[in-house]
Amino acid sequence: MLGSIELLSALAYFGIFGEGFSYRLLHQRLERQITPEAAGITRPTGQMVIHPCLGFVFNPEAVDKTVRTALGGLEISRFGFVDTAPLLAPRSATGYRIAVLGGSVAAAFGILGRARLIERLQALPQLTNRRVELINLGMAGYKQPQTALTLMWVLSLGAEFDAVINIDGFNDIALPEADNVRLGVMAAYPREWANLAPGVASLRRQTTLASIALTRQGRRDAASLVNRFPLRYSASALVLWSVYDRSRAARLGGLQRELGQERGSARSRYQVSGGFRPYASREAMYDDFVALWQRGSRLLHQVCQANGMRYFHFL
């Protein structure tokens, strides 16, 4: 009987979605829905707070267990970054301090690649008698000029480094159009600034943002439930989950369109847009993104030179 139900469910899947039932494909979709990206962890919402100089950082007082797990169990520093190494410590003859800057790839490298990088550097003859320390200043969603501003912010607080590693290039080109420009927001502003700008969100906008967060949470919770044994191997459970997830995805798309259509007061519009001017063409727009990215990296190099730090830029 149970086998018949499972077979009928697999056949029903084809009738509903127009594609063959595949455990491998559906397992991949399940796993995508429980990633940090699907949960909104890599977006400036929920677990993050507005920062007056950097746009947004993690809120160390509000990060939940799910986020800590996604971040490899590391703690959030009092400065809002995924690290507990002493940020404001000085350079010394017995230490070698390295700052890692950039977006989500840099942040992940600062978590997952930390031990390996320290091990390899510690093996170099010139660093044999020095304690290598990595300070993770990468943040998911960061792009220029946030990356450059991050270094200048922490230097102004008294941080000192021997070297700076900048891993960027994707966010700087891929995010400005989708997250800012299409909403009439300056490309150089932090991603999704229309949803972050303090004091400008109407009650309707706040309600829509809350609905988006709840919808994402619902998709993640459902995927986490079905991804467990034995539901993960049940065709019936996977079909029901697929129907639910598709409906939530459509709901999420509608909510995001609502955000894009809402207009605020003249004052709030400027606070969001930053004097945005439409581009003459898509080519001109992407030329501007590239130029902004290049200037940010050159500025980082100049700041490092002026402060006796080595600068390494990786794409």
Q: Residue ranges of the domains in the chain?
A: 34-200+264-314
Does pLDDT of 266 surpass 50? no
Global pTM reads: 0.74
The pLDDT of residue 130 is 93
Give residue 66's pLDDT band: very low, low, confident or very high (50, 70, 90): low
- Say if CB 306 and CB 157 are below 8 A apart: no
Environment class of 236 (CB within 10 Å of its CB; exposed 0-12, middle 13-18, buried 19+) = middle
* Averaged pLDDT for residues 119-142: 93
* Proportion of the chain above pLDDT 90, given as a percent: 55
**What does the block give as tokens for 274?**
């930053």
Minimum mean pLDDT range among 93-102, 104-113, 202-211, 273-282: 202-211
> In this structure, which amino acid lies at residue 200?
V
From the centroid of its chain, how far is CA 109? 13
Query: CA–CA distance from 240 to each of 29, 105, 214, 218, 246 (Å)?
Result: 14, 34, 20, 14, 10
What tens digit of pLDDT does each residue of 177-192 get? Answer: 988 998 889 999 999 8
> In this structure, which amino acid lies at residue 261?
Q
Cβ count within 10 A of residue 260: 10
Mean pLDDT score of the chain: 87
What tens digit of pLDDT does each residue of 148-175 get? Answer: 999 999 999 999 999 999 999 999 999 9
